[in-house]
Amino acid sequence: MAAHLNILLLFSGLKGVHSITTVNKVSVTAGKSVSIPCLYDSRYMNHVKYLCEGYYWTSCRCAVKTNKPDRSGKYSILDDKNQKIFTVTINQLTKENTDYWCVVEIDRGPDHGKYFQLSVTSGTPSLYVDHQQITGYIGENITIRCHHSNSGGMKWCRLGRKCVTGSSGSIDGTTVTTHMTEKNVFTVTMSGLKPEDSGWYWCDEGDIQIPVHLTVTEKLITTTTGTTTRSVTGNGPITTLENEQHRGSSDLKILIIPLSVLILIVIVVLFIWLILRNKQSKAESSATAMAGEEVTYSEVRVKKRSSAKVNEDAISTSVGKMIQKAPEEEGAEVTYSTVAIHHQNI
């Protein structure tokens, strides 16, 4: 019994404990990227996961861990604890990138790992899909095209679940139909999608697989009624074209009103300025005309004033020119009966 236990432990140390499910072999193109899903048991949900590079389990090199990212950008890892799947991505593939292990770290015991192989080619892979990441919508269908070069039997599988090997079947209650109407193209259609259908699948041809990740979500629905267009995603917000147009019109009114008031104020100010400018010009013209006039008195009458007033009076002209005449006799008052204005040339 002890001998059998030692053999079992030795085998576990060489090949890893197979408590992880993943692909066997994937054909890829050099220079491209590939994502590999690794399904683990629920008891390892909070354990560290990592990718180990190398053919032998005992000597493989850790490439990336969930708690220690790869700074070079060559590798990345993502742990989806809800589905209990961690996904490793290998970028810029070379022909040296061939042997890897999906590994769960065990704190007090040997780590658990599962081996997979990459077949890196410079040409077209022997089995590939158009896209590794696809999106489907609830209640609708999704079609996946698996391109293959071998003549082996094809099947469509979900990671950790059953496979559909014939022309029709179901996976987790979702109807799956397959056909090969095109040469070297295995077409898979999944009908009546549900949110639970999200996850990892793969096309399988013998010992080669190509993983495909399906995301099932609600579809954006657009309905048009008259001038109203709205988009609804489940119970999300509704946006109407009329509301957008009304909002745009309101914004335009808000901008036009103050601009109109500003223009009116400018016009009034200019009008007042022109009136004042015109009055100032007329005043200056009148002053200039009066400056060149001379006053001549044609008749002078002298009226005697009281003896108390003995000072001479000075008579001044109307616009700037002063003509002073001595009274004929002391104490007299002078009265001018006629005034004639003579213009001077300035």
Q: Give the E-state strand segments of 54-194 in sequence order.
A: 61-65, 75-80, 85-90, 99-104, 112-121, 127-129, 133-137, 142-148, 154-158, 163-164, 168-171, 174-179, 185-191
Using an 8 Å Cβ cutoff, are 139 and 40 in contact? no
Find the angle CA(183)-CA(184)-CA(185) to the nearest 5 degrees.
Answer: 90
Architecture of domain 127-217: Sandwich (2.60)
Mean pLDDT along residues 104-112: 91
C-alpha closest to that of 178 among 209, 143, 202, 135: 143
Residue with tokens 């003995």: 310
Q: pLDDT by residue (tens digit) across 2-56? A: 333 333 334 444 444 458 999 999 999 999 999 999 999 999 999 999 999 999 9
Q: Which residues pair with 202 in a beta bridge?
A: 157, 211
Q: pLDDT by residue (tens digit) across 149-197? A: 876 688 999 999 889 988 899 999 999 999 987 888 999 999 999 999 9
Q: pLDDT by residue (tens digit) across 199-227? A: 999 999 888 999 999 999 998 876 655 54
Question: In the predicted model, is pLDDT for residue 234 greater than 60?
Answer: no
- Tell me, yes or no, if the two domains 2-121 and 127-217 fold the same way: yes
Between 280 and 85, name the one with better pLDDT: 85
Domain topology for 2-121: Immunoglobulin-like (2.60.40)
Using an 8 Å Cβ cutoff, are 199 and 159 in contact? yes
Q: pLDDT by residue (tens digit) across 237-278? A: 444 444 555 555 666 667 788 888 889 899 988 889 888 888
Residue with tokens 């048991």: 41
SS3 call for 269: helix
Domain spans of the chain, in order of start: 2-121, 127-217, 227-279, 292-343
Residue with tokens 């040296």: 96
pLDDT of residue 322: 40
pLDDT of residue 317: 40
Residue with tokens 């850790």: 62
Q: Can you give the pTM of this predicted structure?
A: 0.61
pLDDT of residue 108: 84
Residue with tokens 């094809």: 154
Q: pLDDT by residue (tens digit) across 290-322? A: 555 554 555 555 555 544 443 444 334 443 344
